[in-house]
Structure 1
Amino acid sequence: MNPFPLPKQKNLRADCAWVIYQILEQGKSSRECLERVQRRHNARDNGWIQEMSLGVMRRLPLLQYWLRTLLDRPLKGNKKVIEHLILLGLYQLQFSRVSQHAAVGETVAAASYLGGAGLKGLVNAVLRNFQRDNVGDKPIDNPIIESGLPKWLYNAIEQSYADKAEAVREATNAMAPIWLRVNRQQISLSSYTQLLDEAQVGYTLSTSHPDGLILEQRQEITALPGFEKGYFAVQDGAAQLAAHLLGAQPGDRVLDCCAAPGGKTGHIAEVTPQLDYLLALDADESRLKRVKENMIRLKHSVDIKQGDAANPSTWWDGVPFDKILLDAPCSATGVIRRHPDIRWLRKASDIDKLATLQRDILDALWATLKPGGTLLYATCSILPQENKLQISQFLNDTPDAQLLPVIKTETRESPGRQILPGEAQMDGFYYARLVKSDKSV
């Protein structure tokens, strides 16, 4: 399908519909689309566009179900974007604080900005019929539609978590809190919370995160105290566990693999500043720019390289690493609550490919690890195929790999710690810690 260009003239709802269209029809990420649109709106309107477009992602099966009952036949070609405008209108009417009058009137007007002036009557009729017939209040006997998830992911969660499946789905659809990680090399946690108190910014602390806190309300991050001074980074609580589980020691050579955008790299540098060497590696050159920007703001000195993790000969100097953090490419099914577009960008067929890639990288990096060294395997996935099944198979196939448990209940058959979305307000995440046996012992 031909990509639909961003409307020449800005309009709040037209631009929001364009974002939805790009995600669902062109497979673009919400981050990429929102960056383009938000350049031409103010902060308040940008917040609205993000809330509405991601809200549509969370409720998409239900919105599409309603659309099918209200639209005689699908729109095609360049008219297809008007369907996405209607989805936005339905979401406003049923789930937002937008007034009913504005949800209909402003959405109808936005059709002109999308080249659909002749379809304004259709948009108006669909939204008015939705209101008049109370379509949103009619029960739907379909748990998959009500879940807001694609069928394949709904079934995968059901199969993997049985009695916990409903709680996992609910947490996946919830709004994620904003976690901060205080940069202990620049300021102490207590001193930073004092700055937040003075700025009247509410927060809660976490007993299991010595550098972390959770904001009570969503905030403009760059306006928080000390942003420019590098006093903190935005990092979910689950991701904040990585540096501590890795356990790097002064004098160690450390590799953070698949490091972009650099959150865990920065935390490793903060927890153990006396490292001999810290390398942040990523295959994506554009994302490495974010790593560089973050390291500069946080005032960390780190070696940053572009390279294929599965092919160390192109970037490794041959000196073994004491510690390796492998934040492996994955389905990102554990962070859907934070990036709801992932559920529509990811396909069931992707999982086998990702599992193969993860294993290729594991095998390649294992050769760069010093005997007696530790590799921490991490994903932001909740799917066993990428996590405990992956590590269990690696242990069976790798004679010099030993499990160093993260939690007491681990076994070689069920290794690692699986964090589920919403657990202690964290994202879904998986950790497994492996030690390379020292042949000299």
Structure 2
Amino acid sequence: MTASPPAPRPAGAPLGPTLATQLRHTARCVRAVEQGQSLSEVMPQVAAELRPGVQALTFHVLRHLGTARALVDQLVQRKPDAAVQALLCSALSLMLEDAEAGSASGLHYAAHTVVNQAVDAARQDRSTARQAAFVNACLRRFLRERPALMAEALRHPVARWNHPTWWIERLQRDHPERWQAILAANNQPGPMTLRVNRRQIGRAAYQQALLAIGVASNPVGDDGLELDTPQPVERLPGFSQGHCSVQDAAAQMAASLLLEDRHWTAADRVLDACAAPGGKTAHLLERAEVSLLALDMDARRCERVDDNLKRLGLRAEVRCADASRPATWWDGQAFDAILLDAPCTASGIVRRHPDVRWLRRASDVDQLVKVQRGLLEALWPLLKPGGRLLYATCSVFRAEGADQVQAFLERHTNAVHRPSPGHLLPGSAAPAGEFNDNPLGGHDGFFYTRIDKVAP
């Protein structure tokens, strides 16, 4: 069956950005990450009309950066300057023979097209213009010698798995039977999952509203819908009216785990200790009428919490404060429940933040473990006897999850661990159990455990 030709472009309609233009900006983003900047800081600097395409390309490059770097090392005699290196890595990432990754990212370009557009991109940028011929020679050599170059590159673990060596080795220790599945899952884009605001609309009704605009979805968890195809939030029915939020299914588990097996009222005091951007805060309020205090150290992030609550029609006290220093914000009244979604390496959400793996250092783990321990110690005295604390991190590293909680339980005789999911791993399968690895499939990696406070 012959495919229909594309519809003609209306007269006067603007042309979209060329691949060369997008590659030029992608290379700048990749270079910024290699210099230690987060994409959340870099991407807003890209022009709005270029941002969707540049973000898609940048994510793809960062998911293949280990392979691309190994190829560049073979293609050059002397390491090129950072701008040329970033452009070569960006182009090579689009030329890899990785049908699965290409299909998952939706990026399909003929290899010779990538070469030509990369050379154009080099010419367009002052920092690479003099190296355009060099870029052309490197990429054309890759086309000629692809099998041998790829075979040599993939001998190295960083190139094969596209994660730093220390990260790979830590996963091998923490999850010896599943480390490969975790790394493979990290290199695939995560699905778009919504949390339906049950105060506004039922999940089944919202699923029908999505179908009415041609968007299929599947229920996940108590309030979630995983979309078959990601959508801009502006297209989601009732988004501005607070009918739904974008939140991964693993993150949606927090509310159920903290609130389960008891009735909650407005007299119950709940603390969300590290609340921004407010997804879990909002879900708690969608699920229960409680008096909730949401803290975050960053004033701008507190504004995001306020904005999210306002859109969803919810109320909480939002305060800019350091949860680890209760003397600066606590009124002396104990809490019935505390959610501590602690700062961590974010090693479980690499699918959605592919820059994290290249920004983190091995030493960050130990530093963050100290921060987490400090928060646990500071907040535990604020919990009523009979109250509960849900400790959560978006990490798959045991030091930030199972090991952290085990050490806490050993220090506190009035702390009792309740049956909890433990480590949730993306793209793996494992039995449930205390501190064991549970399957996640389409979800992000997370750690959850609930600790109850008993009377002395």
| Sequence identity percentage | 37
Alignment match of 2:71 (pick from 58, 61, 66): 66
Q: Tell me the distance in 2 between the aligned counterparts of 1:310 and 1:187.
A: 37
Q: Is 1:309–2:311 an aligned residue pair?
A: no
In the other structure, the counterpart of 2:55 is: 50
Q: Tell me the distance in 1 between the aligned counterparts of 2:57 and 2:323.
A: 37
Deviation at residue 145 of structure 1 after TM alignment: 2.1
Question: Between Structure 1 and Structure 2, how many residues are aligned?
Answer: 412
In the other structure, the counterpart of 2:5 is: none
Q: Tell me the distance in 2 between the aligned counterparts of 1:323 and 1:69.
A: 56
Give the superposed CA RMSD. Answer: 1.9
In the other structure, the counterpart of 2:282 is: 266
Farther-moved stretch of structure 1 (130-139 vs 353-362): 130-139
Q: Tell me the distance in 2 between the aligned counterparts of 1:378 and 1:327.
A: 5
Q: Tell me the distance in 1 between the aligned counterparts of 2:303 and 2:338.
A: 22
In the other structure, the counterpart of 2:313 is: 299
Q: Tell me the distance in 1 between the aligned counterparts of 2:399 and 2:53.
A: 37
In the other structure, the counterpart of 1:205 is: 219
Q: TM-score, normalised by structure 2?
A: 0.87
Deviation at residue 156 of structure 1 after TM alignment: 0.7
In the other structure, the counterpart of 1:220 is: 232
The answer to whether the 8 Å contact 2:390/2:451 transfers is yes
Q: Tell me the distance in 2 between the aligned counterparts of 1:90 and 1:234.
A: 32
Q: Is 1:12–2:22 an aligned residue pair?
A: yes
Q: Tell me the distance in 1 between the aligned counterparts of 2:274 and 2:436.
A: 20
In the other structure, the counterpart of 1:82 is: 84
**Residue aligned with 2:181, SS:** helix
Q: Tell me the distance in 1 between the aligned counterparts of 2:234 and 2:41.
A: 19
**Residue aligned with 2:293, SS:** strand
The letter for the 1-side match of 2:282 is G
Alignment match of 2:251 (pick from 211, 231, 239): 239
In the other structure, the counterpart of 2:273 is: 257
Alignment match of 2:112 (pick from 96, 101, 105): 101
Deviation at residue 407 of structure 1 after TM alignment: 5.4
Alignment match of 1:427 (pick from 444, 450, 453): 444
Deviation at residue 408 of structure 1 after TM alignment: 11
The structure-2 alpha-carbon separation of the partners of 1:239 and 1:407, relative to structure 1 and needing over 3 Å to count, comes to: closer
Q: Tell me the distance in 2 between the aligned counterparts of 1:241 and 1:268.
A: 10
Q: Tell me the distance in 1 between the aligned counterparts of 2:437 and 2:328.
A: 33
Deviation at residue 31 of structure 1 after TM alignment: 2.0
The letter for the 2-side match of 1:382 is V
The answer to whether the 8 Å contact 2:335/2:387 transfers is yes
In the other structure, the counterpart of 1:5 is: none
The answer to whether the 8 Å contact 1:82/1:114 transfers is no
Alignment match of 1:132 (pick from 144, 168, 191): 144
Deviation at residue 49 of structure 1 after TM alignment: 1.2
Runs of 4+ in 1 over 4 A off after TM superposition: 414-420
Q: Tell me the distance in 1 between the aligned counterparts of 2:373 and 2:150.
A: 47
Q: TM-score, normalised by structure 1?
A: 0.89
Write out aligned runs for 1:14-33 (5 A).
14-25=24-35, 27-33=36-42
* Structure 1 unaligned blocks of 5 or more: 1-9
